[in-house]
Amino acid sequence: MTARPPARGIGVTPAGSWGHAAGRGAPVPRPARPPSESSTGAAVNDAPRTYDVIVIGAGPVGENVADRTRAAGLSTVVVERELVGGECSYWACMPSKALLRPVIARADARRLPGLAGAAQAPLDAAKVLARRDEFTSHWKDDGQVGWLDSVDVDLVRGHGRLTGEREVAVATPDGGTVRLTARHAVVVATGTTAALPPMPGIDDVNPWTSRDATSAKEAPRRLAVVGGGVVAVEMATAWQALGSQVTLLVRGDRLLDRIEPFAGELVADGLREAGVEVRFGANVGSVERDGAHGEVRIGLEGGARVTADEVLFAVGRRPHTGDIGLETVGLKPGSWLEVDDTCQVTAVPGGWLYACGDVNHRALLTHQGKYQGRMAGAAIGARAKGEPVDDAPWGAHVATADHAAVPQVVFTDPEVAAVGLSAAEAQQAGRNVKVVDYDLGQVAGASLYGDDYRGRARMVVDLDRGHLVGVTFVGPGVGELLHSATVAVAGEVPVDRLWHAVPSYPTVSEIWLRLLETYRG
């Protein structure tokens, strides 16, 4: 990763140059390296190397923790067993969005007379996949390793395990062991992997997981997708457009069940219009494949069957904590790591163990994990220097937004963009709220954006506190609107003051004016 991304050029920009770590000015002066430290991952001797901070896992979150602890002047080492940049850079956010961007651009073009005709052709799947490969730097991490080096964070390649308080042993690829000791903190940022449900036949069919769905070299003729969450709807959108006939098997009766119900409804409509077969109440009971490469037969409860060339299971995640030595510090292997708002693991005494990102299960999103990394890194820095920790809500060392203002964009057609609480969540939390809905297609900027614009917006106003606690937009192009809502929710901007925030005419942002007019009656 480079601190300042180079101008984008195919084959030049490393994965993760897209901003996982903060941009910064001059490098932070590095403390003198103790004799036991090495700047390489090679096993130099058996003596433990001592650092101020050890980070296990160099995904986007581990990188950001390391960035912040180095900025605080603490010597820092990260341990990575695969690629520096983690799941997000190589098998999740970046490749999936590289696959989806042309799909969404084409859908937008098809809504514009004068352009629609030119946008009827199928996507050139080979070129889309080649661009995806560029965004993953062909699954090489030299760029991000270079970034670590540029900020004086050491890297040890291998599988890291806790071996006791402040101790980590790394099993290196050459069969050696590097022992590390932390003066101040060990941060677990080991992320997650795809969960597979226990089911007859699942071990024999070699199902696709999110890794295959983001790195496949060609579109299967028929793809069955199991799940109704974000991975399922995004990957159904991508592969249907890239040439597969997709069948989406949803065990419940709606998509995206953690977001406002109208989001799932509009996304289901969009998937169906794109040619995806969406089946609700489809509970998969068994899977079997004809030989090693034959078709997959998926048995649904009730007796129905679906046949496909590949089956993707997108049914959630499990933490990478099964083999990281949790038992040596009194924790249960395989568990999510519960943390306080500075990301200290609450069940481990002494305050030296932190967990950031997916592994703490607060919000399985890159941007939110990176935010936790920034806060935890700053808290570690303050504690190491004996400075006060600002842990009041919204303080400098706490990830308060995890509870109140987690934003998420789902890159489907239409897009979904949501932050904070849904109406149902706010009501369940006992809040006195007013829910305001508006048809996005009635906004001038939206109708200019594309003909027959279909979308909807909702804001949830806490009447006792006088500010928004949740906003959801669904419609083409709404992803870029979301940050305005995040600022309103995280900033607890009084709704009366929002009335003075004038959106430009004629943009889709005028939805704000319409929502506020409706609220005020």
Ligand X SMILES: Cc1cc2nc3c(=O)[nH]c(=O)nc-3n(C[C@H](O)[C@H](O)[C@H](O)COP(=O)(O)OP(=O)(O)OC[C@H]3O[C@@H](n4cnc5c(N)ncnc54)[C@H](O)[C@@H]3O)c2cc1C
331 binds, among ligand NAD, ligand X, none (CB under 5 to 8 A by kind): none
316 is a contact residue toward ligand NAD (CB under 6 A): yes
d(CA 513, CA 521): 12
Q: Which two tokens stand for residue 145?
A: 């390793």
Single-letter amino acid code for the residue at 183: R
d(CA 246, CA 273) in angstroms, rounded, equals 12
> How far is it, in rounded angstroms, from Cα 476 to Cα 455?
7
Contact set for ligand NAD, span 401-420 (CB under 6 A): 408-411
Considering only 230, 446, 460, 481, the residue that binds ligand NAD (CB under 6 A) is 230
- AA identity, residue 237: T
Nearer to ligand X among residue 97 and residue 397 (C-beta): 97
Q: What is the DSSP string of 100-112?
A: HHHHHHHHHHTTS
Closer residue to ligand X in complex, CB, 223/515: 223
The residue among 396, 381, 409 whose CA lies nearest residue 481 is 409
Decide: is 201 part of the binding site for ligand NAD (CB under 6 A).
no
Partner whose footprint covers residue 159, from ligand X, ligand NAD, none (CB < 5 to 8 Å by kind): ligand X
> Nearer to ligand X by C-beta: 191 or 207?
191
For residue 312, the cross-strand partners are 208, 225
Which structure tokens are listed for 278?
A: 């969406």
Question: Applying CB under 6 A, does 364 fall inside the site for ligand NAD?
Answer: yes
CB 498 within 8 A of CB 461: no
What minimum distance in Å lies between the beta carbon of 59 and ligand NAD? 13
Cis check: omega of the bond before 414, within 30 degrees of 0: yes
> Taking a C-beta distance cutoff of 8 angstroms, is the pair 55, 66 a contact?
yes
Distance (Å, rounded) from C-alpha 94 to C-alpha 88?
A: 6
Q: Which stretch binds ligand NAD (CB under 6 A): 74-82, 140-148, 226-234, 509-517?
A: 226-234
**β-pair type (415-420, 317-319):** unpaired
Number of residues that bind ligand NAD (CB under 6 A): 23
Binding positions for ligand X, rule: CB under 6 A: 56-62, 79-82, 86-88, 92-93, 96-97, 159-160, 189-192, 210, 214, 231, 320, 324, 357-359, 364-367, 369
Instruction: Return the structure tokens found at 236.
Output: 């159904």
Distances (CA, A) of 249 to 275, 294, 307, 314, 371: 14, 20, 12, 10, 34
Cβ proximity to ligand NAD, 184 vs 317, nearer residue = 317
Which is closer to ligand NAD, CB of 163 or CB of 193?
A: 193
- Applying CB under 6 A, does 155 fall inside the site for ligand NAD? no
Q: Does 251 bind ligand NAD (CB under 6 A)?
A: yes
Rounded to 10 degrees, the C-alpha dihedral 445/450/452/457 comes to: -50
Name residues whose C-beta falls within 8 Å of residue 126's C-beta, 6 or more positions apart in sequence. none
Asked if 252 is part of the footprint of ligand NAD (rule: CB under 6 A), the reply reads yes
CA 499 to centroid of chain Cα atoms = 32
**Which of 207, 193, 268, 260 is CA-nearest to residue 237?**
268
Nearer to ligand NAD by Cβ, of 69 and 237: the residue is 237
Residue number with the smallest Cβ distance to ligand NAD: 229
Tell me whether residue 105 or residue 463 sits nearer to ligand NAD (CB atom): 105
Query: Is residue 227 close enough to count as binding ligand NAD by CB under 6 A?
Result: yes
- Return the one option of ligand NAD, ligand X, none that residue 316 interacts with (CB less than 5 to 8 A, by type): ligand NAD
Contact flag: residue 365 with ligand NAD (CB under 6 A): yes
The residues near 99 (Cβ < 8 Å, ≥ 6 apart) are 128, 129, 132, 214, 238, 242
| Residue 191 binding partner per list ligand X, ligand NAD, none, with a CB distance cut-off of 5 to 8 Å that depends on partner kind | ligand X
Q: Which of 197, 200, 334, 466 binds ligand NAD (CB under 6 A)?
A: 197
- Out of ligand NAD, ligand X, none, which partner does residue 190 contact, by CB within 5 to 8 A per kind? ligand X
The residue (of 176 and 316) whose beta carbon lies closer to ligand NAD is: 316
Report residue 86: phi and psi, to 5°. 70, -170
Of 167 and 234, the one with the shorter C-beta distance to ligand NAD is 234
The entry of ligand NAD, ligand X, none near residue 371 (CB within 5 to 8 angstroms by kind) is: none
| Interface residues toward ligand NAD, by CB under 6 A | 197, 226-232, 234, 251-252, 257, 284, 314-317, 364-365, 408-411
